[in-house]
């Protein structure tokens, strides 16, 4: 599917979608429980994959009350059954990694696969860790990539692993480790990238009654614990990764001095992507965040380039790159090599697609520099690369490009923000079907 985005002014009030990161963890935590309710979950292509995995392990996911924002889960109570069939995680790397550790708890074997993109992503350190903790874990092609085979009752213990490939490896082991006999202690061999995502995990675990903690060298979770949220329910907060596109739209396409775009549901949480508030503020956007009310307002200003380290916030790179293309001076996005290991190589993807629009960009291994003063955006055909974050970031750029920007792969926003195009339209953006 393609979308046309033409130069527009945006304003108005909208609501942030629920957090994808929290939803994944909450659904799987509910699966580990006897029973639990997840309130206000994000229902998207990725989170549906996690729902299917919980069902495959013997749980029941009742979606009948989703219209009222409630997802009821009868879990597998810490003991996943052996699935009747292969679990297809589609394009969801989060599902694959979290479920790898869950599947390793079962007596038999679980087979995990996904689409072409997912089958190219690295899982080697997680597979090694599962084996070190007493489970079975193999890549069918012996390259650390899906299809994966896991199982044989992971027992727990201590393990050493790198922290600079994916924080999801740590999340997977902490969630599974809580129901093992021995628990799991993880020693990180390298700096942990995307560390706030593990903070999210620890926050969700705590809400489900599971204790996990940081150590001097990594993380530890005791075994023999049970998942049970207080009152039997857990509420998912708003998603700051998705909020970043709405705030960026306000920063580049709302009149300076206007009310701009106000986003409801922007409550503080462990999400690292709350950093977008500071980034846009430093760039000169008119930003006002009422944390108590959960309201974030973004309007235009005199935007200037800044340097941003995305070591902990890889999902913000596309958003920052798009804003940098309309700011004066250089926007340098540093410490971003791990951003190449997402649904696509997001560093190269943003460099190449912004160049099509007329941006001047310098790409290095771990740095992306957008030369805003040398850029003049003009609408053209661009490719979302089958990546929801690339498509949404290109839409932000399309709001200020001369003429019309046609984005292919527009349907992939369903991964994290299914209503994105409708929300953009409601804010006044000129968005039409191609």
Reference 32, options 109, 88, 117, 101; nearest CA is 101
145 is in an annotated binding site: no
Kindly state the average pLDDT of the residues 349-353.
98
Q: Is the CB of residue 187 less than 8 Å from the CB of residue 158?
A: yes
At residue 190, does pLDDT exceed 90? yes
pLDDT confidence tier of residue 272, bands split at 50, 70 and 90: very high
Show which residues are catalytic: 315
HEC readout, 308-354? EECCCCHHHHHHHHHHHCCCECEEEEECCHHHHHCCCCHHHHHHHHH
Cβ neighbours of residue 179 under 8 Å, at least 6 residues apart?
32, 78, 79, 105, 223, 224, 225, 226, 227
At residue 359, does pLDDT exceed 90? yes
At residue 255, does pLDDT exceed 90? no
Task: Write out pLDDT tens, residues 125-162.
Answer: 999 999 999 999 999 999 999 999 999 999 999 999 99
Task: Give the model's pLDDT for residue 175.
Answer: 98
- As a dihedral over the C-alpha atoms of residue 82, residue 107, residue 202, residue 262, rounded to 10 degrees, the angle is -10
93 is in an annotated binding site: yes
At residue 118, does pLDDT exceed 90? yes
For the chain, what are the domain ranges?
2-17+238-433, 20-235
Report the sign of the C-alpha dihedral through residues 204, 210, 213, 218, in that order.
Answer: negative
Query: Residue 242 half-sphere exposure, CB side, CA atoms within 13 Å?
Result: 30
At residue 32, does pLDDT exceed 90? yes
User: Which residues are paired to 371 by β-bridges?
Assistant: 330, 360
11 is in an annotated binding site: no
Counts for the chain of helices (H) and strands (E), in that order: 12, 24
Report the sign of the C-alpha dihedral through residues 406, 341, 17, 39, in that order.
Answer: positive
Reference 369, options 397, 327, 406; nearest CA is 327
Its CATH architecture, for the domain 2-17+238-433, is Alpha-beta prism (3.65)
CA–CA dist 320, 350 (Å, integer)? 10
Specify the CATH number of the domain 20-235. Answer: 3.65.10.10
Q: Is the CB of residue 377 less than 8 Å from the CB of residue 400?
A: yes
Task: Give the model's pLDDT for residue 229.
Answer: 98
**Hey, what are 143's tokens?**
């390259």
Alpha carbon of residue 15 to chain centroid: 18
Strand bridging mode 307-309 / 330-334: parallel
Kindly state the average pLDDT of the residues 66-71.
93
Same fold, 2-17+238-433 and 20-235: yes
Q: What are the Cα distances from residue 107, in Å, to 57, 134, 158?
A: 11, 12, 21
Task: Give the model's pLDDT for residue 384.
Answer: 98
pLDDT confidence tier of residue 172, bands split at 50, 70 and 90: very high
Kindly state the average pLDDT of the residues 250-272.
93
194 is in an annotated binding site: yes
pTM score of the predicted model: 0.88
166 is in an annotated binding site: yes
Mean pLDDT of the chain: 97
pLDDT confidence tier of residue 411, bands split at 50, 70 and 90: very high
pLDDT confidence tier of residue 261, bands split at 50, 70 and 90: very high
Strand bridging mode 404-408 / 381-383: parallel
389 is in an annotated binding site: yes
Task: Give the model's pLDDT for residue 292.
Answer: 95
pLDDT confidence tier of residue 59, bands split at 50, 70 and 90: very high
3 is in an annotated binding site: no
408 is in an annotated binding site: no
376 is in an annotated binding site: no
Task: Give the model's pLDDT for residue 109.
Answer: 98
CB atoms within 10 A of CB 93: 22
Task: Give the model's pLDDT for residue 258.
Answer: 86
At residue 434, does pLDDT exceed 90? no
Task: Write out pLDDT tens, residues 219-242.
Answer: 999 999 999 999 999 999 999 999
Task: Give the model's pLDDT for residue 256.
Answer: 80
């Amino acid at each position: 599917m393609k979308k046309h985005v033409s130069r527009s002014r945006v304003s108005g009030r909208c609501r942030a979608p629920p957090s994808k990161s929290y939803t994944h963890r909450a659904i799987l935590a509910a699966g580990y429980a006897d029973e639990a309710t997840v309130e206000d979950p994000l229902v998207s292509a990725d989170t549906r994959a996690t729902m299917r995995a919980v069902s495959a392990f013997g749980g029941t996911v009742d979606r009948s009350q989703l219209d009222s924002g409630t997802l009821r889960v009868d879990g597998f109570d810490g003991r996943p059954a052996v699935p009747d069939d292969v679990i297809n995680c589609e394009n969801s790397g989060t599902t694959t990694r979290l479920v790898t550790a869950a599947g390793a708890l079962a007596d038999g074997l679980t087979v995990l696969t996904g689409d072409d993109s997912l089958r190219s992503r690295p899982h080697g350190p997680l597979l090694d860790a599962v084996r070190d903790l007493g489970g079975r874990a193999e890549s069918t092609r012996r390259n650390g990539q899906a299809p994966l085979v896991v199982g044989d009752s992971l027992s727990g213990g201590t393990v050493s692993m790198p922290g600079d490939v994916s924080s999801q490896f740590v999340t997977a082991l902490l969630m599974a480790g809580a129901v093992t006999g021995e628990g799991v202690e993880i020693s990180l061999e390298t700096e942990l990238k995307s560390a706030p995502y593990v903070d999210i995990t620890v926050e969700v675990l705590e809400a489900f009654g599971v204790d996990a903690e940081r150590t001097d060298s990594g993380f530890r979770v005791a075994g023999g614990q049970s998942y049970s949220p207080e009152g039997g329910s857990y509420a998912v907060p708003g998603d700051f990764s998705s909020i970043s596109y709405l705030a960026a739209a306000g920063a580049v396409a709302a009149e300076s001095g206007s009310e701009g775009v106000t986003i409801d549901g922007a409550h503080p949480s462990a999400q690292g992507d709350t950093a977008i508030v500071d980034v846009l503020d430093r760039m000169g956007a008119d930003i006002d965040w009422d944390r108590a009310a959960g309201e974030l307002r973004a309007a235009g200003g005199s935007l200037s380039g800044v340097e941003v380290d995305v070591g902990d916030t890889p999902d913000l790179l596309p958003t920052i790159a798009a804003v940098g293309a309309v700011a004066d001076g250089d926007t340098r996005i540093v410490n971003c090599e791990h951003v190449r290991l997402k649904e696509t190589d997001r560093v190269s993807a943003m460099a190449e697609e912004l160049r099509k629009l007329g941006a001047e960009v310098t790409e290095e291994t771990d740095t992306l520099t957008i030369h805003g003063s040398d850029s003049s955006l003009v609408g053209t055909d661009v490719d979302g690369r089958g990546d929801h974050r690339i498509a949404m970031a290109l839409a932000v750029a399309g709001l200020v490009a001369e003429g019309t920007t046609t984005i292919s792969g527009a349907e992939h926003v369903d991964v994290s923000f299914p209503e994105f195009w409708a929300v953009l339209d409601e804010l006044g953006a000129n968005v039409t079907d191609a």
